[in-house]
Amino acid sequence: MQYNVIVIGSGPGGYVAAIRCAQLGFKTAIVEKYKTLGGTCLNVGCIPSKALLDSSEHFINAKQHFKEHGIEIPEPKLNLGQMIKRKGEVVKANVDGIAFLMKKNKIDVHTGVGSFVDKNTIKVTAEDGKETTLTTEKVIIATGSKPTPLPFAPFDKKRIISSTEALELKELPKHLIVIGGGVIGMELGSVFARVGSKVTVVEFLDSLIPTMDGTMGKELLKVAKKLGIESYLGHKVTSVESKGDEVTVKAEGKDGKSIELKGDYCLVSIGRRPYTDGLGLDKIGIETVKGQIQVDDHLKTKVDNVYAIGDVVRGAMLAHKAEEEGVYVAETMAGQKPHVHYNLIPGVVYTWPEVASVGYTEEQLKTQGKAYKVGNFPYKALGRARASGDTDGLVKILADKTTDEILGVHIIGARAADMIAAGVTAMEFRASAEDVSRMSHAHPTYMEAVKEACLAATANRPIHM
């Protein structure tokens, strides 16, 4: 079978690349080792985690907040099996959607492990061992990533688990110990804390979600505490042992004091690593550095017709980053001049309240020695937030001290995930804080906090504070 483009891996990088290739007139195939399309994101990542986050949010609202709204119901009971079943249905609807899109765009789907025979030949090995050989002019590698284990405590997938197993638990953990207070740790930690597990987070650095603006980590620590999540920051895990149905985690704080935690499950969420097993990269002379496939500014590997995108290359491990890169490569192959603005790829943590950021953090601006202004506006001063009862959080705007150009938008608060798109738009058009502060924002909305924070940044004159 002869193709213009073969994409290996059907996650958000791969399937979007394949669709854009097909739209541009390339005869395209996609190779996926699993039976369902959609990769990590749809099967064991973004979508199932958000399904459980939404379900657990309904649960805690029914349990803690309905009453204050004047809704009286009997004490809600958790049906974890139903929650997980619904999550499975949400995943199925999404992965079926990708299969439909492949058909619609006349993209051939080959199920099996794809590996290079040479730079124009891909062998697909199905689960039953059957091999198919495909030839192609160009290849896009989009093989994604896998969870990183602790070097001294590999995943046993029963008690020492990764996000993949956490999304499928058959019983509610009594005490879930989470190692790594990053995105997965805080999202899945929230799910289980909301539905009744005791949750303890052990984080190596001094802040939760440490790659985001420091203010976000501080605020998230407060809301995590309100939810009952206990956090040990600045703690290095020294051992994890699982015996029967008990897991013991030992860690050492910066002050030299040790802690010992006993739980029934330990979620290890200390990052993910690029995945290239079985690809046969050696057959075409591509090497990896720390697991990552090396690419140039156009996402091309050192082999002329082979590109790589998404989690398997440098940069943020995010679905929408992978998607942008998929489109970029397809359009580059078609002779177009696309662009990915990496600094304006937003990051979101789907806790409640949500955390969302785009652009530079205050810490980055300090390191760069850039002169900047800060404007903050708290949710508790917003009419909309008081009406809904979501008064935790704030909007933080960072702007250039001289030109007033917005350099960073950081939000922790209700619906931050959707609001951050306005920050991206403003920054793509290089808006100043004053530009945004002079635009009409519907009242009452959470977005008014962005306008007010811009007023605070541009001239220190918020109206409602």
Q: Which residues bind ligand FAD (CB under 6 A)?
A: 8-14, 31-34, 39-41, 45-46, 49, 113-114, 142-145, 163, 184, 275, 278-279, 310-311, 317-320, 322, 350
Q: Out of ligand NAI, ligand FAD, none, which partner does residue 110 contact, by CB within 5 to 8 A per kind?
A: none
Size (the chain), residues: 465
Closer residue to ligand NAI (CB): 28 or 197: 197
- Residues 6 or more apart whose CB falls under 8 angstroms from that of 154 comprise 160
Residue 209's Cβ-side half-sphere holds a number of Cα atoms within 13 Å equal to 29
443 part of the active site: yes
Q: Out of ligand NAI, ligand FAD, none, which partner does residue 12 contact, by CB within 5 to 8 A per kind?
A: ligand FAD
Nearest in space to 169 (alpha carbons), one of 35, 37, 52: 52
Could you say which of 65, 69, 341, 443 is catalytic?
443
User: Rounded to the nearest whole angstrom, what is the least distance from the CB of residue 19 to ligand NAI in the complex?
Assistant: 22
**Residue whose CB is nearest to ligand NAI in the complex, by number:** 182
Distance between CA atoms of residues 435 and 441, nearest Å? 12
CA distances from 35 to 14, 111, 141 (A): 15, 6, 18
Tokens of 242: 């699982």
Nearest in space to 140 (alpha carbons), one of 345, 307, 327: 307
CA distances from 127 to 111, 130, 132, 388 (A): 8, 7, 12, 51
* Beta-bridge partner residues of 121: 118, 135
Is 30 within 8 Å of 140 (Cβ atoms)? no
Q: Out of ligand NAI, ligand FAD, none, which partner does residue 462 contact, by CB within 5 to 8 A per kind?
A: none
Closer residue to ligand FAD (CB): 91 or 456: 91
Provide the b/e sequence for 318-345 (b: ≥16 CB within 10 Å): bbbbbbbbbbbbbbebeeeeeebeeeeb
Q: Out of ligand FAD, ligand NAI, none, which partner does residue 94 contact, by CB within 5 to 8 A per kind?
A: none
User: Rounded to the nearest whole angstrom, what is the least distance from the CB of residue 38 to ligand NAI in the complex?
Assistant: 15
User: Rounded to the nearest whole angstrom, what is the least distance from the CB of residue 239 to ligand FAD in the complex?
Assistant: 25
Closer residue to ligand NAI (CB): 4 or 204: 204
Q: Out of ligand NAI, ligand FAD, none, which partner does residue 217 contact, by CB within 5 to 8 A per kind?
A: none
Closer residue to ligand FAD (CB): 145 or 231: 145
User: Rounded to the nearest whole angstrom, what is the least distance from the CB of residue 218 to ligand FAD in the complex?
Assistant: 22
Q: If you ran DSSP here, which 8-state letter would residue 405 be given?
A: B
Using CB under 6 A, list all residues that contact ligand NAI: 179-185, 187, 202-205, 210, 237, 269-272, 316-318, 348-350
Closer residue to ligand FAD (CB): 351 or 437: 351
User: Rounded to the nearest whole angstrom, what is the least distance from the CB of residue 277 to ligand NAI in the complex?
Assistant: 18
Give the residue numbers marked as catalytic: 443
